[in-house]
Amino acid sequence: MKFDALVVGGGIAGMESSLKLADMGYSVALVERQASVGGRMILLSKVFPTLDCASCISGPKMSSTVNHPNITTFTTSEVEGIRRQPDGTFAASVRQRAKYVDWSACTGCQDCEVACTVAVPDQFNYDLAARRAAYIAFPQAVPKKAVLERAGTSPCTDACPAGIKAHGYVALIRDGRYEEAFQLILEATPLVATLGRACYAPCEESCTRGDLEGTLPIRRLKRFVADWHYATHDGPGVEPAAPTGQRVAIVGSGPAGLTAAWQLARRGHGVTIFEAAPEPGGFLRYALPEYRLPRAAVDQDIANVTALGVEIVVDHPVDDVVGLRDAGYDAVVVATGTPLAQSLHVPGEEHTGVTSGLAFLGAVRQGESRDLSGRTVVVVGGGNVAMDAARTARRLGAAVTVVYRRSRGEMPANHVEAEDAEQEGVTLAFLLAPAEVVADAAGHVRALRCQEMRLGPPDASGRRRPEPVAGAERVVACDLVISAIGLRPDANAFATLSHDGSGALVADPTTLATALPGVFVAGDAVTGPSDITRAVGQGRRAAHMADRWLRGEPLDGFHALDDRLAVVDHAAVLARQRTHARRDPAVSGIDFSMTPHDFAELEPALTEAEALAGVSRCLDCGVCSECGACSRVCPADAIHLEQHDEMLDLEVDTVVVATGYELFDAYQKPEYGYGTFPNVITATEMDRLLAPTRPFNTVLRPSDGKVPDRVAYVSCVGSRDRTVDNPLCSKICCMYSIKQHQLIMGALPLADVTTHYMDMRAAGKRYEEFFSQGKDMGATYIKGRVAKIEEKDNGDLRVFYEDIENGGRVVAAEYDLVVLSVGVRPNPDALRLFDEEDLAATEFRFVAEPAGDHSPGATSIPGVYVAGASSGAKDIVDSIMHAGAAVAQAAATLEVAHPRRRVPLEVR
Amino acid sequence: MRERDRREVIRDEPLMHAPIRRELAGGPLTVPELAARLGRPPEEVLLWVMGMRRYRQVVEVPDSDDEGYFRYELVASDEEVLA
């Protein structure tokens, strides 16, 4: 994109520069970091010395800027670099940050703000009050459009292989919107109660709160909303789309199959699930023990699927997908999991008393009563099935030893499962590999002979390879050997589909499409043994792709997992706060027994109070929680979370730097107690309290909402002060303080206003008269620097100062509220704009004007000009005049370069 | 003395909506009164009340009391008005 001029910064100097150049007929690109132009001026109450309304002056200028035909305004944008070209022109890279809102549709109605579940400090009110993650910058914003603040994907959401928006449902619970939380999870999967109990919760492993005192109980929060929903609702509360008339067959009713069926049914397709077992659920029903996942919870989740009209045909194994196509199904999803157990491959495996973990768990789940009291069981393996089998055997009365050929660190089982097993009396024996099942003459198992192992170098899995210790064996006496060394897909099933060497079905990893048109595969049948959430993610993906295929659309667009923002860094999240108060993590509440004897659900549900305590610990890592509340209420369908930042390349002939100033950080003067004493605020904060769009209903002190009777100002905070490395006078502080004195006395007629100052600088048109006016209204001015401020128990403040005009003694005065008149500092961003050459700076790091005496606004780089407070502290009038000087020279540059390039101005 | 980081306090606002609404259901209260009932610091309660005020869930009763405190009351939702 080509423009005559680039103006960096949309404050008063940037707007003025843009308007003047545009009015001359030049095309201008105005780049503003915020979602609105206006800079700091629009946030002011009034301007000095006229006490005109700041909004009334800058509002029309903002509107003129954004709507000027020769100005293209890039809001929420930042210049990442500017390079001067050999011909003297400039190439600028601009990042236009995603707004996540379609501004062409947004009407500025604020419905998204009201619905938003995340509260953050409002930077436009200097953090005095809250705004929402979905927000319009301020009431007079131009353009008046909403944006969503997104720092990235929250770690919990990013970690979920099912694409469940964990941060979203946590935020909805925090807002008391339990049903919406349930519905948000339903967008991913019908298995809400199941995942609330049996998921291994990678979200919790990733939770930033884990870097403090412990993670949120994210999984149990899911169970909380599931239990709440099922106790208060009949059915899922989801209406499927209008029928498409197309039919889809799902083979297998485990987590992948159920999820795929749910997603396709929601989209209006007719879905039939074919299940080989007598009841649906796959491993959820037949492998996971009742104490971890009650059958009732599985049934509740499956009822979600059937409520959408999905037919589940049980006792119906399917091996021929082509036959399904021939039977009239338009698409097929195969999700048959890993139904086969790996063999031990040791002598004696055929003896009575050797079984697989899968068969053992399935038999117990189906009600086969077994009493193992007094028996000894050896479970072979280190995975989750091994842990489930061991703990199940304990409940049946057996003494249980798990033998595993590697060490604890290499166990594939979730560490919680292994720890829980030990708490129930299971013995874990490491570095033992089965060598032979020893049986008696009748063929009954009597022992497992094991080879002792040691760890060698890592193998292909990255885990250290177990190696036999020559001559070292151990015999473990037992009555039952349960083999749980792994699961595998059935390589002999589905002859028309391709299998890899492990027996897994072969498909495109992104689309999950097989070589047979319309046939998709999902879950462990493709990936090999994984876990429930991964299977759910696969089911979602296969359903999405099958739906696209049925609609004749390209197999892409799976935003749930393929198009997420980069994950937010823990350190960046923690750095947003100066302190983090400790909040105790939720306790597990599990009462382990070394002799467990029943299959009752082990983990208690969170109470509502525990759930709310849990969500209160969320740090809102991504800021926006992706809860979708804004999308649901937006009348214009303008919310688009899939937007991404865009990089823009601009070619311009001249650049105007108008990046403004920064305010002194009052934390650097700890003797004044800013940030520690609530009733010590800055003058910019006071300006917000006095503005028509103020954050409170009037001027209130922050500690308790009291209307202050005694207000003190402390001048020259962070300016004319070598202790903070700023000897400069900030020029505007005296006058904005006097302005505020008069406004306070107007707003609070009973208030006393006192200023502690060093000397009053009123150098400007009618400034001295303005000072006198303040005194005439009753403001008190005491000469002498404030040494320190103390806080009383009631929040009042004691100000200690040197009373210069009365003998120089140290005096203490009490106030309700103290206002620090903070100084102006340079904005360091200005000096980082240029890539290959330095924009020269003054000794105080403002943009330098090397020929400032006769050429104000010209910088060290030919063709680059500076406007407003980027080059030093200025009031509004001076900023506007300075912008005029800068753009006059910029225009001269443009005239020399391109005498006839001006754009005719059609609208004035 | 400020007890918690302001960002942390503001983050709690959605969580505090229900308790604040419960307390204000009995009539308007000042920030210190509300703080005493909730058992939370007045500074934090002010932030939550002002957040709710911004989004039209509460509104101040005109005129402060003799001690300089405004009272705040619930704003009826559209549904409540229609009912």
Taking CA–CA distances from A751, the nearest residue in chain B reads: B68
- Report the SS3 class of residue A882: helix
pLDDT band per the 50, 70, 90 thresholds, residue B82? low
pLDDT tens digit sequence for A756-786? 998 899 888 899 999 999 999 999 999 999 9
Question: Is B33 in CB contact (< 8 Å) with chain A?
Answer: no
- State residue A764's pLDDT score: 86
Model confidence over B29-51: pLDDT tens digits?
Answer: 999 999 999 999 999 999 999 99
Residue A549, Cα to own-chain centre: how many angstroms? 32
- For residues A96 and A54, the answer to whether their CB atoms sit within 8 Å is no
The per-residue pLDDT for A459 is 87
Say what the pTM is: 0.94
How far is Cα A621 from Cα A370, in angstroms, rounded to an integer?
Answer: 49
CA gap A590, A292 in Å, rounded: 11
* Per-residue pLDDT, A184: 98
Phi-psi region of B77 (alpha: psi -120 to 50; beta: other; left: phi over 0): beta
**Residue A63: count of CB within 10 angstroms of its CB:** 14
pLDDT confidence of residue B30: 97
Closest to A865 measured CA to CA, from A879, A853, A883, A877: A883
- Between CA A473 and CA A452 the distance in angstroms is 5
Q: Which two tokens stand for residue A506?
A: 């072969």
* Cβ(A770)–Cβ(A735) below 8 Å: yes
For chain A, the average pLDDT equals 95
For B13, the closest chain A residue by CA position comes to A119
Q: Do B6 and A612 touch (CB under 8 A)?
A: no
Instruction: List, for residues A292-301, the tens digit of each pLDDT value.
Output: 999 999 999 9
If one counts every other C-beta atom within 10 angstroms of the C-beta of residue A568, the result is 23
- Residue A122's H or E segment, with its range, is none
Q: Tens of pLDDT along A458-478? A: 988 788 899 999 999 999 999
Whether chain B has a CB inside 8 Å of the CB on A488: the answer is no
Interface contact B62, partner A, CB < 8 A: no
Mean local confidence (pLDDT), A262-278: 97
Q: Confidence class of residue B1 from pLDDT cuts 50, 70 and 90?
A: confident
Which residues on B lie below 8 Å from A578 (Cβ)?
A: 5
Residues B12, A581: C-beta atoms closer than 8 Å: no
Residue A78 has pLDDT above 90, yes or no: yes
A130 close to B (CB below 8 A): yes
Instruction: Kindly state whether B19 is in contact with chain A, defined as any CB-CB distance less than 8 angstroms.
Output: no
* Planar angle of CA A627, A630, A635, nearest 5 degrees: 150
Nearest chain B alpha carbon to A792: B1
Q: pLDDT category, A900, cuts 50, 70, 90? A: low
> What pLDDT shows up at residue B83?
67
Residue B34 lies inside a defined structural domain of this protein:
yes
Are A179 and A229 in contact by the 8 Å Cβ rule? The answer is yes
Is the pLDDT score of A902 beyond 70?
no
**Alpha carbons A346 and A338: distance in angstroms, whole number:** 22
Q: Which domain holds residue B57?
A: 6-82
What was the pLDDT predicted at A897?
Answer: 77
In this predicted structure, what is the pLDDT of residue A621?
A: 98
Contacts A–B by Cβ distance under 8 A? 112
Q: Average pLDDT for residues B51-72, to the nearest whole number?
A: 93
SS (H, E, C) A134-201: EEECCCCCCCCCEEECECCECHHHHHCCCCCCHHHHHHHHHCCCHHHHHHHHHCCCCCHHHHHHHCCC
Answer whether residue B11 is part of any domain.
Answer: yes
The interface predicted TM-score (ipTM) is 0.96
pLDDT tens readout for residues A303-318? 999 999 999 999 999 9
Q: Is B48 domain-assigned? A: yes
Q: Residues A656, A658, A662, CA angle at the centre, nearest 5°?
A: 155
Q: Residue A370: pLDDT band by 50, 70, 90 thresholds? A: confident
Going by C-alpha positions, the residue among A178, A185, A131 that lies closest to residue A157 is: A185
Residue B69 included in any domain: yes
The whole-number pLDDT of residue A908 equals: 42
d(CA A531, CA A662): 51
d(C-alpha A420, C-alpha A289), whole Å:
14
Amino acid identity for residue A733 in this structure: C
B17 in any annotated domain: yes
**Nearest beta carbon to residue B60 from set A131, A697, A706:** A697
A319 pLDDT exceeds 70?
A: yes
Q: Summarize the confidence of residues A684-700 as an average pLDDT.
A: 96
The H or E element that residue A457 is part of is strand A445-458
Q: Three-state SS across A534-590?
A: HHHHHHHHHHHHHHHHHCCCCCCCCHHHHCCCCECCHHHHHCCCCCCCCCCCCCCCC
What pLDDT does residue A905 have? Answer: 58
Q: How many CB atoms lie within 10 A of CB A783?
A: 17
Contacts of A806 (CB under 8 A, 6+ apart): none
How many CA atoms does the CB half-sphere of A231 hold within 13 Å? Answer: 7
Given CB atoms, is B73 within the 8 Å cutoff of chain A? no
**Category of A685 on φ-ψ map: left (φ > 0), alpha (ψ -120 to 50) or beta:** alpha
- Is the Cβ of B3 closer than 8 Å to some Cβ of chain A? yes
**Residues β-bridged to residue A146:** A136
Question: Which sign, positive or negative, has the C-alpha torsion A885, A889, A892, A894?
Answer: negative
The interface residues of chain A toward chain B in range 244-273, judged by CB-CB distance below 8 A, are none
pLDDT confidence of A906, banded at 50, 70, 90? low
The token pair that represents A304 in the structure block: 């979600």
Cβ pair B30:A705 closer than 8 A: yes
The first and second tokens of residue A255, run together, are: 């987590």
**DSSP β-ladder status, A146-148 and A134-136:** antiparallel
- DSSP alpha helix (H) spans, A404-510: 415-423
pLDDT in tens, A211-237: 999 999 999 999 999 999 999 999 999
**Segment A135-170, tens digit of pLDDT:** 999 999 999 999 999 999 999 999 999 999 999 999
- What DSSP assignment string belongs to A755-801? EEES-----STTHHHHHHHHHHHT-EEEES-EEEEEE-TTS-EEEEE
Non-local (6+) Cβ contacts of B80 within 8 A are none
Whole-angstrom distance, CA of residue A786 vs CA of residue A26: 51
Give how many domains chain B has, as a whole number: 1
* Beta carbons of A695 and B54 less than 8 Å apart: yes
Residue A875: how many other CB atoms lie within 10 Å: 17
The Cα A388–Cα A433 span in angstroms is 19
Note the Cα A373 to chain centre separation in Å. Answer: 51
How many Cβ atoms sit within 10 Å of the Cβ of residue A2? 12
Question: Is B21 domain-assigned?
Answer: yes
Q: How close A700 gets to chain B, by Cα (Å)?
A: 9
Domain membership flag for residue B1: no
Nearest to B70 among A113, A676, A705 (CB): A705
A711-730 core/surface letters (b: 16 or more CB in 10 A; e: else)? bbbbbbbbbbbeeeebebbb
A616 touches chain B (CB under 8 A): yes
Q: How far apart are CA B80 and CA A159, in angstroms?
A: 41
pLDDT in tens, A811-845: 999 999 999 999 999 999 999 999 989 999 999 99
Q: For A482-500, what is each residue's pLDDT tens digit? A: 999 999 999 889 999 999 9
Q: Is residue B15 included in any domain, yes or no?
A: yes
pLDDT digits (tens, 9 = 90+) for A175-203: 999 999 999 999 999 999 999 999 999 99
Closest-CA residue to A136 (of A150, A147, A121) = A147
Sheet holding A710-717, edge to edge: A680-682, A817-822, A710-717, A752-757, A780-783
A633 touches chain B (CB under 8 A): no
Q: What is the pLDDT of residues A522-540, one digit of tens each?
A: 999 999 999 999 999 999 9
The verdict on B42 touching A (C-beta cutoff 8 Å) is yes
Chain A hits for B31, CB-CB cut-off 8 Å, are: 704-705
Quote the pLDDT of residue A462. 84
Let me know the angle formed at the C-alpha of B15 by B12 and B16, rounded to the nearest 5 degrees: 85
Among A579, A620, A704, select the one facing B31 at the smallest CB separation.
Answer: A704
A276 secondary structure, DSSP code:
S
For A568-614, what is each residue's pLDDT tens digit?
999 999 999 999 999 999 998 899 999 999 999 999 999 999 999 99
- The CATH number that applies at residue B71 is 1.10.10.10
State the DSSP H helix or E strand holding residue A657, giving kind and residue range, or none if neither.
strand A654-657
The alpha-carbon gap from A577 to the nearest alpha carbon of chain B, in Å, equals 6
* CA distance linking residue A295 with residue A280, whole number of Å: 11
Residue of B nearest to A750 (CA): B68
